[in-house]
Amino acid sequence: MRLGVELTEIKDVDVLLERILREARHLVSADAGSIYIKEGDKLKFSYTQNETQEKKLAPGKKLIYSTFSVPINNQSIAGYVANTGETMNIPDVYKLKAGLSFSFNKSYDELSGYRTQSMLTFPLKTNRGETIGVLQLINAYDSHDRVIPFSKKDEPLVLHFANMAAVAIERAQMTRTMILRTIKMAELRDPKETGAHVNRVAAYTVAIYESWAGKQGISRDVIEKNQDILRMAAMLHDVGKVAISDAILKKPGRLNDEEREAMQQHTIMGAKLFADRYSEFDEAAAIVALNHHEKWDGTGYPGHVNPIDGKVMPGYEKSNGMSRPKKGEEIPLFGRIVAIADVYDALSSRRVYKERWEESQVLDELKATSGKHFEPNMIETFFSCLDTIQSIAERYPDH
């Protein structure tokens, strides 16, 4: 019951999938596992964990994987489970009986040197009986770290967990859908604000935060809680652009000083949308919207302003009445992280007014602006998880 409540409290679907897979593996002492989410008539390979492979990585590194889709039919094990709704408990996938409609894909084992043996695959069904995905657990271990078949006695427990997980996933998907609909509204105004762009920025942000927080010795519970709200907040970093004039948003050339000042108001407008703070998410979203264009050396914007009325905070006025920009650690942590994620993605992407930069150019620019635009320690953290960030870019391509 406690676990079910904890799962439903996680709002972001990506953070939730990681937690679900870890808890499911813990329930049955599984070394590895994957989650597939139903998209139309296919299953999308959405998340994976492998403790044996992760132990081979340097401290703080995460397993890199590619996403792919498999048809919902009886030819693959995951497809069969999604198609039939049955649970499959296979003692050894290399010893499947002849005549079965499905087979085991050995390609991952051949590439990685990993040996998949026992496999427990079960559907993720909602309270309505609809299958929204498949959870696959691999290689059960006994107390002597030997691979054994999954116990038949564990199946009812796993299925009960799967039902709780499916309900939580469905709720998180609804939250993600609502955020993406808000993004689509912004996209109608500014073509740069696409679903792919905001998903990449959000995922980069979470990867940087997790790497940074791990080095700070922050507890796993706190990291997961912050990942949940930070990912959603990062998706909405530019939502304030809905309040900016089309003449400015869609201008093909460079903005003049007056237009640039008007454009900079999107940070305040975005924060203002979350002025009524009903949750920690509202707080995080306001912080990110307001601060993601501040610069470490104090040359960013909008500075020390109250997003409710747009007025300069007392004591922070410059001689011209404008706000002094925030500098260094005056910029909230979440704003400092999203700033890097946003610029990395903007430079790496094609825009109406520019071609995408080569990866080497983007990385050189980030290094060159460390200590100026960006916090040096955070840039160091970015490069420490660059392999993860580059894999995220492949997961959310522009269409």
- The residue extents of the domains of the chain are 2-171, 190-395
- The answer to whether domain 190-395 has CATH 1.20.120.450 is no
Domains 2-171 and 190-395 share a fold: no
CATH architecture for residues 2-171:
2-Layer Sandwich (3.30)
pLDDT, residue 320, reads 78
**What confidence tier does 276 reach under pLDDT thresholds 50, 70, 90?**
confident
**What confidence tier does 284 reach under pLDDT thresholds 50, 70, 90?**
very high
Peptide bond into 302 cis (omega under 30): yes
User: What is the tens place of the pLDDT at every residue in 184-231?
Assistant: 777 676 666 667 889 999 999 999 999 999 999 999 999 999 999 999
- What H or E segment, with its residue span, contains residue 49? strand 42-50
Tokens representing residue 360 in the block: 């080497």
Choice among 46-50, 307-311, 389-393 with the minimum mean pLDDT: 307-311
> Alpha-carbon distance 105 to 372, whole Å?
49
Would you say residue 70 has pLDDT above 80?
Answer: yes
**Residue that is written with structure tokens 């909602």 in the block:** 126
Would you say residue 172 has pLDDT above 60?
Answer: yes
Would you say residue 335 has pLDDT above 90?
Answer: yes
Q: Which residue, 320, 284, 285, 318, is CA-closest to 304?
A: 318
Q: Which residue, 251, 254, 239, 256, is CA-closest to 338?
A: 239
Cα separation values, 110 from 91, 94, 96, 105, 114, Å: 19, 13, 18, 10, 7
- What H or E segment, with its residue span, contains residue 147? strand 147-148
Calculate mean pLDDT across residues 120-142. 95
β-sheet bridge partners, residue 44: 37, 69
pLDDT, residue 248, reads 85
Query: What is the amino acid identity at position 182?
Result: T
Calculate mean pLDDT across residues 170-174. 93
The set of catalytic residues is: 241
pLDDT, residue 189, reads 66
Calculate mean pLDDT across residues 133-152. 96
pLDDT, residue 193, reads 60
- Backbone phi, then psi, for 341, in 5-degree steps? -60, -40
End-to-end alpha-carbon separation of the chain, Å? 41
> Alpha-carbon distance 67 to 43, whole Å?
10
Residues 22, 233, 353, CA angle at the centre, nearest 5°? 115
pLDDT, residue 183, reads 80
Would you say residue 352 has pLDDT above 70?
Answer: no
Question: Hey, CA dihedral for 391, 124, 172, 25, is it positive or negative?
Answer: negative
> Alpha-carbon distance 231 to 114, whole Å?
32
Calculate mean pLDDT across residues 335-348. 96
CB atoms within 10 A of CB 65: 16
**CA dihedral defined by 386, 387, 391, 393, rounded to 10 degrees?**
20
Report yes or no on whether pTM surpasses 0.75.
yes
Choice among 92-106, 188-202, 323-337 with the minimum mean pLDDT: 188-202
